[in-house]
Amino acid sequence: MKYLITGSGFLAKELIKALLKEEETEKIKIYSRAEKEQWQTKMMFNSDKLEFVIGDIRDKEAIKVALKGVEYCIHTAAIKRIEVAEKQPIEAIKTNVIGSMNVIEGCIENKVKKLILISTDKATSATTCYGSTKFLMECMAYANTSDTEIICTRYGNVFGSTGSVVPIFDELVKEGKPLTVRNPEMTRFFMDVEKCVGIVSDALKIGKNGELWVYESKSCTIKELADAFSDNQIISGTENIEKNDEALITVAELNHSKRYKDYYVVRKDYKSEKTYNEALTSYTAKRLSKEEIEKMIVNWREHEGISVKL
């Protein structure tokens, strides 16, 4: 099997690790504009199955050329920082909307068998620029009628991923500084990176065109997460753009869903076996226990080679 992964960040590296374990994997192209990240990835894996292509998903012709001969594409590249997208919305639109359109069209033109798009809970009832761009990406996927199967995956925060609050808290602990907590009662979804790789892998294997795969994550308050790191905290106040709770899946989506493992698989023509009356939010979801949060921190630190103890 021949793959192309857009982006070369945290998730891309984990997907490469998983795909290299598969006997069927012949080639993995990594397409991104981050030369340093590509070099680090090359040194990390040292595999002749990897091919590195410097390019930007904003460049329609370049991504189309890169997709030649590819059978499966996983689209992880995006502007992900909420505050960056708010300050520079045009740049976010160029990358997350137009760039995603270029990836979709490139896959269709090159007759790629399957394209997996990485979305976010921020796209559900979006109130931010970042969430809105991801919602539009999802809309493009649902409108697909080509022979290329396009599937979206949506989930909450990947524990410890680049730019998330986890490595920020961890660094502050090491420096002996207080943790900055905006709103202690704010709730967020969290999941291990292995679960993230798992949903992409399952969607690649059995996902069908037009489907949205949603992992049913557990949640916790930001205070509960911060407490697992340190009790040295300061409250800074919530940004105007931030929701107190995130929605993972809407009522309408739930009523057009099927259950598979820990996922909701949504498509417009599906009908749920039960009737749902409320969305799945980080407030209503099952909560992570203190022990589960601490285990996630330990697992993340081991994964990153960090020796700091709780």
Report the first-to-last Cα separation within the chain, whole angstroms: 42
Q: What beta strand segments (E) does 113-183 contain?
A: 114-118, 149-154, 157-158, 179-181
In angstroms, the Cα distances linking 37 to 4, 33, 284 are 16, 9, 38
Q: pTM higher than 0.85, yes or no?
A: yes
Q: What pLDDT, on the 0 to 100 scale, is given for residue 182?
A: 84
Report pLDDT for 243: 85
The DSSP call for residue 188 is E
Per-domain boundaries in the chain? 1-154
Residue 239's pLDDT is 63
Alpha carbon of residue 34 to chain centroid = 18
Can you read off the two tokens belonging to residue 119?
Answer: 């979305």
Kindly give the confidence (pLDDT) of every residue in the chain, 310 residues in length, as a single tens digit, with 9 standing for 90 and above: 999 999 998 899 999 999 999 999 999 999 999 999 999 999 999 999 999 999 999 999 999 999 999 999 999 999 998 889 999 999 999 999 999 999 999 999 999 999 999 999 999 999 999 999 999 999 999 999 999 999 999 999 999 887 688 999 999 999 999 998 988 999 999 999 999 999 999 999 999 999 999 999 999 999 999 999 999 999 987 666 678 999 999 999 999 999 999 999 999 999 999 999 999 999 999 999 999 999 999 988 888 876 555 4
pLDDT of residue 242: 73
In angstroms, the CA 45 to CA 49 distance is: 10
For 283, phi then psi, to 5°, come to -85, -40
Cα–Cα distance measured from residue 163 to residue 44, given in angstroms and rounded to the nearest whole number: 21
Q: Write the DSSP string, 24-67.
A: T--EEEEEES-HHHHHHHHHHH--TTEEEEE--TT-HHHHHHHT
Helix (H, G, I), strand (E, B) or coil at 153: strand
* 87 phi and psi angles, rounded to 5 deg: -80, -30
Catalytic residue among 2, 29, 114, 122: 122
Which pLDDT tens digit goes with each residue over 123-178?
Answer: 999 999 999 999 999 999 999 999 999 999 999 999 988 768 899 999 999 999 99
Name the amino acid, one letter, at 138: E
Q: What is the CATH class of 1-154?
A: alpha beta
Please indicate whether residue 174 is annotated as part of the active site.
no
Distance CA 121, CA 73 (A): 21
Token digits of residue 245:
């709770």
Token pair of 91 as six digits: 């740049």
Instruction: Count the Cβ atoms, other than its own, within 10 Å of residue 132.
Output: 19
pLDDT the model gives residue 310: 46
